[in-house]
Structures are given as C-alpha cells and as structure tokens.
Homo-oligomer: A and B are copies of this chain.
Amino acid sequence: MPDFILYNSLTREEQTIQLIQPGHLRFYSCGPTVYSYAHIGNFRTFLTADLVVRTAEALGWQVTYVTNITDVGHLTDDDHADALGEDKMAKALRSKEGELFANVWDLARFYTDAFVEEWEQLNLRKPFVRPRATEHMREQIEAIQTLIKTGHAYETPDAVYFSVPSFKAYGQLSGNTRADALEEGVRDVVKDTNKQDPRDFALWKKDDKHLMQWFSPWGWGFPGWHLECSVMAMKYLGETFDIHGGGEDLAFPHHECEIAQSEALTGKPFANYWVHTRFLQVEGQKMSKSLGNFYRVKDLVAPNAEGGKGFDPLALRLSLLSGHYGKPFNFTIQNLKDAAKIVRRYQDAWDLVEGILHSDKPSGTDFLGKRLNENYDAILLAMTQNLNTPEALAKAHAGQKMIQGALSGMGKEAAKQASKWFQKVNALLGFIRRERTLQETNDTTDAEVEVAQALAQLIDTARSQKDFARADAIRTDLLQKGFEVRTTKEGSKVTKKIS
C-alpha cells in the first residue's frame, strides 16, 4: 500500500501520515452551525473529509471519524468569539422562517435534519458520531474550570477568557501571533475593557438573555464557539489524535484557538495534521444571495417541479471532486452538466457489466483484470498524494473507457473484473452509486435493521482488536434476532432472514 501524504497546514508542507496507533486513523472535521442551510461551499469541505476517510479505508485502515454539529448559535460576528455580536440562532428565530419553530431547539433540529439529508444525498460517509455542542456542556464547563485553575483563563464581569499570552505557541497554525496582526482582522468588535490582551478569546459568555443558556460556576451563560470542538474531539478521539479538518476560513481564529485551549489543557499536541479546504466560487464570483448564485445542495438536486435544477446528487459530487481541495474551486453549472453526463456513462457501463454477469453469456477470458487492477492502484495512488482528485478522476475515466471499449466482446470472466473495478472505484470516490445501507433498501425507517447493522460493524471492530470471542458473541446475538451476517469488502453486513 502506498503512503498517505497530506499537506499539513500546521507545518506548511506535504507529509506522510504517521498514525498514532498503526492501522487506526482518528479524524475530526468541523461541521456546520445549524441556524440555516449549509451551502455547496460548506459541502466541498465535508467532501474533503469524506475523501480522507475513504482513502484511509482503501488503505485498509480503521477510521474513527467525528464531525460535530454546532447547535449553540455562535455569535454572528463569529470571527471573534469575544465580539458582543448577535447570536445566529436568535437571529434565525426572529426571521420569517424562524417564526414557525416553537423554540430555538426545534430550529436547530430542523436545520440539522436538512443538513444530514443533504450529507446523505452527496454519499458522504456516516461518521462514528456527530456530537452536538449542547450535549457536551459538562465537558466544556470542566475544561474552563481546569484552564482557570492552571492560569490559562480568567473571569471578568462579562465572560471567562482564555489568556493568549499564557500559551506561547499561539499562532503556530495561522501565523498570526502579534496583537496588532489580530487587531487588523477584527471587525465591529465591541471591546471588553476587562480583557487582559486583545487576542484573548471567550470561553464562556455571561448572558442571561441568550436563547440557549446553561448554569455554570460563572452563572447563566453559554460557551464560546471554539471550546466545543476541543472537548468533543478529545472526548471521542483522545487528547492527541491524527488529523483535524475544516474550511480554510476556520483556520483562524477557530482552529488556532482550538489548539491553544486543548494544548493548554493537556500539555500534549492536539492534532498532528491539519487539512484545510479552500473556498468555492460560483461562476467566477463569490456566492451571494443577491447575485442569485447561492446554492445549497437541494437547489441543484431537487426536481424541477419543486424548484430545483434536478441534477443527480452524484453529479454534484463529481463536479466538486473535479477540483483539488487545496485550490479555490470555481463551480459552474456547465461543469455540473458535464459531470452529470459522465456519471451517467459510468452508471450505464456498470449496469451493462452486471447484465453480462447475470446473463447466460460464455465465461470468456479475463483479459481485463490485470490492467484494471493497475488502473485502480493508480487511482488510489493519486488519492494518497494529497487527495489529488483531478488525477484520480483522469485515471478513473481511462479505466472506464477501457471497460466501455471491451463491452461488446466481454464474457463473464472479464465482467467479473470490471464489476470489481466499479465497486472499488465507487468505494474510493463515491460518485457512481449511492452506497445503500440495508436500511434504505428494505425500509427507510427500519430502526431495528439499523441497530443490527451497527452491531455488525462492532464485529469488525472486535476483530480488528483481535477480540474474537466478542465478535462471535455479537454474531450469535444477531442470529438470534433473526439476522444473517455476511462478510463483505465493506465489512460485515446484515440481512434480515426471510421467515
């Protein structure tokens, strides 16, 4: 297997990923704030995270993938969590659409559900956990208590601040170290004269009028935005983990602050590698509602009758894949149209291949296997080279053409190889077919099957930990519940026994 090389924003160079625990990637990627719909620029970042996960899986690694939901509205002027700006959720609730929610929690839940739905449409891998900021309040409060105790934070009448001067390495990620450098980036900041350093940022805001509030040792209030990612990442991935991802706009101050808080808390490195996805433009311009070029996934994929443009979500996925995450991406409708044709071509060819496999055609010879394996290896290699999706797609298109050209004379032996190639390419790049879970194919609302499927994944975890007794126990339990367990390339899968 090739090395997995990523550009590390922290060291500003491409590096080979050295896992903390060999064979097991621990990965955190920043998710959305759910006060409105995520746009396709946000989803480009989530797609990068998905590619990190899929490439790692293709290398045979176990992946623990965590991506959060910010359901505490951070301030509208979220460049600086110390700004006394307006809470985004409060603003959303006061808007026209907000009127229909009985409370701010329902608003957050509504946009969370919309987000997860678009996530699934884009065939993005389901994370191990999608922790919510509101559900990790104890961890946040305790982190602040520790930071105060160790001299990294202090309380004022308005807030608790992290003391930037107390953390020498501040600025290592963004290069922003001096107070004046930070000041330049500050907009509309209402100064708190009790702040000891202009760079200090809020860990806790005292505010008993905020819509979402918690009681704390500092009275009623809510946590600063940066804190949630620190405590949730460390809770599920450990004090030091491998990769942390997010959009480039998050590098400063969000990620810089995450590092400061986390490393001040533990005295250990926080994340070893940082991956930032660059911004997206639409038709050469910044997306904006006034220009009419502001797209959420649904705008592009919903049927025409419902006001959408009716594209296959996988075409959108392919379109986003066509640019390298480390460069700004110019999204165009023309590119999306082209992508739709390409996706269709792959889907049709795959269907024909499956048709041959299930026909009574003669076996023929395997004249494709070797070339297709080499082709797949080249695709995987490109992905391990800093997620080089343009290169990976070029190779994939060559492979697809190879199969296309061979279709007319293809027997079952060659079709078997072609089918395998489609499966592997789809597992890695995910744009040909949505990988359906059992839940979807049987009954989109079948909770028990989902439970069983999740249990089946625990079999794989147990095996990877060489705990075979536990793996067997889970399998026996599933059998008793009426499920059969199959071992597949994607791990253990369940099927409901037909009674």
Residues of A in contact with B (beta carbons under 8 Å apart):
37, 96-97, 99-100, 102-103, 105-106, 110, 113-114, 117, 128-129, 131-132, 134-135, 137-138, 141, 213-217, 220, 236, 298, 302-307, 442-443, 445-449, 451, 454-455, 457-458, 477, 482, 496, 498-499
Contact of A447 among B96, B114, B442 (CB under 8 A): B114
Asked if B455 and A99 sit within 8 Å, CB to CB, the answer is yes
Asked if B458 and A100 sit within 8 Å, CB to CB, the answer is yes
Contact of A129 among B106, B215, B216 (CB under 8 A): B106
Give 4 new A-B contacts, CB below 8 A, not counting A106-B129, A138-B214, A298-B448: A96-B477, A100-B451, A105-B135, A137-B215
Contact of A215 among B102, B134, B214, B458 (CB under 8 A): B214
Complexed CA–CA distance, A457 and B304 (Å):
25
Contact of A307 among B132, B454, B482 (CB under 8 A): B482
Asked if A99 and B458 sit within 8 Å, CB to CB, the answer is yes
**A156 CB to nearest chain B CB (Å):** 19
Asked if A117 and B307 sit within 8 Å, CB to CB, the answer is no
Query: Closest residue of chain B to A115, judged by CB?
Result: B447
Complexed CA–CA distance, A97 and B447 (Å):
11
Asked if A102 and B117 sit within 8 Å, CB to CB, the answer is no
Asked if B214 and A449 sit within 8 Å, CB to CB, the answer is no
**A455 CB to nearest chain B CB (Å):** 6
Asked if A103 and B131 sit within 8 Å, CB to CB, the answer is yes
Asked if B132 and A105 sit within 8 Å, CB to CB, the answer is yes
Sampled A-B contacts (13; CB under 8 Å): A97-B451, A99-B455, A102-B129, A103-B129, A105-B135, A137-B214, A138-B215, A138-B220, A215-B215, A215-B216, A298-B448, A305-B442, A307-B499
Give the secondary structure class of A's interface.
helix
Residues of chain B within 8 A (CB-CB) of A105 are: 131-132, 135
Residues of chain B within 8 A (CB-CB) of A131 are: 102-103, 105
Q: How many copies does the complex hold?
A: 2
- Greatest chain B CB density within 10 A among A213, A307, A454, A496 is at A307
Query: Closest residue of chain B to A106, judged by CB?
Result: B129
Complexed CA–CA distance, A442 and B302 (Å):
11
Complexed CA–CA distance, A99 and B215 (Å):
30
Asked if A100 and B455 sit within 8 Å, CB to CB, the answer is yes
Residues of chain B within 8 A (CB-CB) of A458 are: 99-100
Residues of chain B within 8 A (CB-CB) of A213 are: 138
Asked if B302 and A446 sit within 8 Å, CB to CB, the answer is yes
- Give the 10 A-B CB pairs with smallest separation, nearest first: A102-B129, A100-B454, A105-B135, A114-B447, A117-B445, A215-B215, A305-B498, A138-B213, A97-B451, A215-B216
- Greatest chain B CB density within 10 A among A220, A236, A303, A448 is at A448
**A477 CB to nearest chain B CB (Å):** 6
Complexed CA–CA distance, A248 and B129 (Å):
38
**A362 CB to nearest chain B CB (Å):** 35
**A474 CB to nearest chain B CB (Å):** 8
**A26 CB to nearest chain B CB (Å):** 13
Complexed CA–CA distance, A96 and B458 (Å):
11
Complexed CA–CA distance, A457 and B215 (Å):
35
Asked if B128 and A306 sit within 8 Å, CB to CB, the answer is no
Asked if B138 and A442 sit within 8 Å, CB to CB, the answer is no
